């Protein structure tokens, strides 16, 4: 029996910038309330769903928000994301993919608010 899914709710210094960033990565806004509910956004790509709340006072250097995306093919997604032009967001970056000692193949990404997104899958045994 499946219990369901977990969906991260992460801070965003600027919801508009956050939306633009994730749309560059092929996410779509399925919920957009920049001026309601304190500022909130829902962004979706396939089975990945991300929720963001507005937090304009957030210091990207002090942000510890993070989540993990377990994906089917991290190498393909790494290839796609590493080709994206992230220059419009100084805090955003993609960290190289590698095999981790705990048995996963993964990489990491920082979004414009410096939320850490780890992306990977378990390595085949």
Specify the DSSP element, H or E, that contains 42: strand 40-45
Edge-to-edge strand list for the sheet holding 93-99: 66-70, 116-122, 104-110, 93-99
In whole angstroms, what is the distance from residue 119 CA to residue 108 CA? 6
pLDDT tens per residue across all 125 residues of the chain: 778 888 999 999 999 999 999 999 999 999 999 999 999 999 999 999 999 999 999 999 999 999 999 999 999 999 999 999 999 999 999 999 999 999 999 999 999 999 999 999 998 76
Q: Residue for token digits 């000692």?
A: 101
pTM of the complete model:
0.93
Domain locations along the chain: 9-56+63-122
Superfamily for domain range 9-56+63-122: 2,3-Dihydroxybiphenyl 1,2-Dioxygenase, domain 1 (3.10.180.10)
């Amino acid at each position: 029996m499946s219990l369901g899914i977990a969906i991260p709710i992460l801070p965003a210094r600027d919801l508009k910038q956050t939306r633009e960033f994730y749309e560059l990565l092929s996410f779509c806004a399925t919920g957009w309330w920049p001026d309601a509910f304190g500022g909130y956004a829902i962004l979706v790509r396939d089975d990945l769903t991300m929720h963001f709340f507005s937090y304009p006072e957030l210091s990207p250097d002090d942000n510890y928000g993070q989540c993990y995306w377990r994906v089917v093919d991290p190498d393909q997604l790494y290839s796609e994301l590493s080709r994206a032009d992230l220059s419009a967001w100084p805090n955003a970056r993609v960290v190289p993919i590698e095999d981790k000692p705990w048995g996963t193949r993964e990489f990491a990404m920082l979004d414009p608010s410096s939320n850490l997104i780890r992306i990977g899958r378990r390595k085949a045994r």
